[in-house]
Structure 1
Amino acid sequence: MRFHGLDLNLLVVLDMLLAEQNITRTGERLHLSQPATSAALSRLRDYFEDDLLVQVGRRMVRTPMAETLAQPIRDLLIQMRSTLENRSRFQPDLARRNFTLMASDYVGMVLLPEVSRRLNTLAPSCSIEQFLPTDEAALEIERGHVDFLVLPDKNILKEHPCVALFSDEYVCVMCKDHPAANGPLSMDDYKALGHVLVRWGGEHRAPMADEWFARSFGFTRRVEVTTNTFNSVPPFLIGTLRVATMHRRLAERWAQYLPLRIVSAPWTAPPLTMSMQWNKYQQLDPGLAWLRNLIIETSASMDPDQAS
Structure 2
Amino acid sequence: MSAVNVDAVSPAPVAGAGGPHRIDAIPLRHPGRWTAAIVLIIVVVLFLYGAATNPAYSWDYYAKYIFDQRISKAATVTLELTVLSMILAILVGVLMAVMRLSPNAVLRGVSWTYLWIFRGTPVYVQLVLWGLFATIYKSIRVGIPFGPTFFTITSADAISVFWLAVIGLGLNEAAYMAEIVRAGIISVNHGQIEAATALGLTWWQTMRHITLPQAMRIIIPPTGNEVISMLKTTSLVTAVPFTMDLYTRSRDISAETFTPIPLLLVASTWYLAFTSVLMVGQYFLEKHFAKGLRRAGAHG
Question: Above 0.5 in TM-score?
Answer: no
Q: What's the TM-score once normalised by structure 2's chain length?
A: 0.18
Structure richer in strand, relative to its length: 1
Considering only CA atoms, is the larger Rg found in Structure 1 or Structure 2? 2
Q: What's the TM-score once normalised by structure 1's chain length?
A: 0.18
